[in-house]
Amino acid sequence: MRIIPAIDIIDGKCVRLTKGDYNTKKIYNENPLEVAKEFEAAGIEYLHVVDLDGAKASEIINYKVLEQIASKTNLKIDFGGGLKSDKDLEIAFNSGANQITGGSIAVKNRAVFEGWISTYGAQKIILGADFYPDTSGGKIATNGWQEESSLELIPFIKDYQQKGIQYVICTDISKDGMLQGPSFEVYKQILKESAISSGVENALKLIASGGISSFEELPRLAENGCEGVIIGKAIYENKISLKQLTNFILNN
């Protein structure tokens, strides 16, 4: 299972939110490159960068931060937040993104998102499935989690799996930034149902996100079958140390 630390950007600074609420913004570092270099020094290879300004504005904003991290580290970066047009995508890849994540666009403009999958391939395009939990499993959220759609989580993922999507970042918004543990059961259910409908040739690479609070949760997510895990506040609040992550990477 890949370890993928998160850097969320507002005004060019490294921040974290709670449940996606911009009013809860906490700045952890004025220089995201510094943070990225610390991750790389710990043996981490992957990074999840979210342009929170872009998510709100519905267009890429903080691509200069992406460019700086990509040019001054060897981290493989997946980048998301506000990518809505072919031009946004071009800017993200030209700025050094290894993969991009599309969430709102996958809900609101399927033709464009499916075009990205076709043009760039399933290795480059990640489906962002951010959801508000409810009795039916969850409803997909859009626009920096400011809006809730009528689409249900698992059918949404399975539908795009049929279109060729392999990588999915799934975030339980109710747990994001809460340090109360991830949605183990939801991830198990997604992997179970997607396996039934897909077969081995298009097995889902599910990346868990939201609520990670302790190192002990990581082996459990790996056992569940998650391909990766995004860790944010747990690192910044010293609930999980970089040394623990280094050891996990070395031993897995």
182, 210 contact by CB (below 8 A): yes
pLDDT of residue 23: 92
Residue type, 36: A
Arithmetic mean of pLDDT, 51-79: 96
- The CA distances from residue 39 to 15, 52, 71, 131, 236, in Å, are 16, 21, 15, 28, 11
Report the chain's mean pLDDT, rounded to a whole number.
Answer: 93
- The CA distances from residue 220 to 6, 9, 115, 238, in Å, are 20, 29, 35, 20
Residue 86, pLDDT > 90, answer: yes
Residues 23-63 have pLDDT tens digits of: 999 999 999 999 999 999 999 999 999 999 998 899 999 99
CATH of the domain at 11: 3.20.20.70
> Nearest Cα to 81, choosing from 68, 97, 73, 72?
97
99 vs 195: which has the higher pLDDT: 99
214, 239 contact by CB (below 8 A): yes
What's the pLDDT band for 230 if we cut at 50, 70, 90? very high
Residues 99-158 have pLDDT tens digits of: 999 999 999 999 999 999 999 999 999 999 999 887 556 889 887 677 778 899 999 999
Active site residues: 8, 130
pLDDT of residue 199: 57
Arithmetic mean of pLDDT, 11-21: 93
pLDDT of residue 128: 96
CB-count exposure of residue 23 (10 Å: 0-12, 13-18, 19+): exposed
Tell me the sheet residues that pair with 76. Answer: 46
Residue 201, pLDDT > 80, answer: no
CA distance linking residue 102 with residue 82, whole number of Å: 8
Tally of domains in the chain: 1
Residue type, 154: I
Residue type, 146: Q
The CA radius of gyration of the chain, in Å to the nearest whole number, is 16
Residues of the domain holding 12: 2-251
CA distance linking residue 78 with residue 107, whole number of Å: 19
pLDDT of residue 252: 85
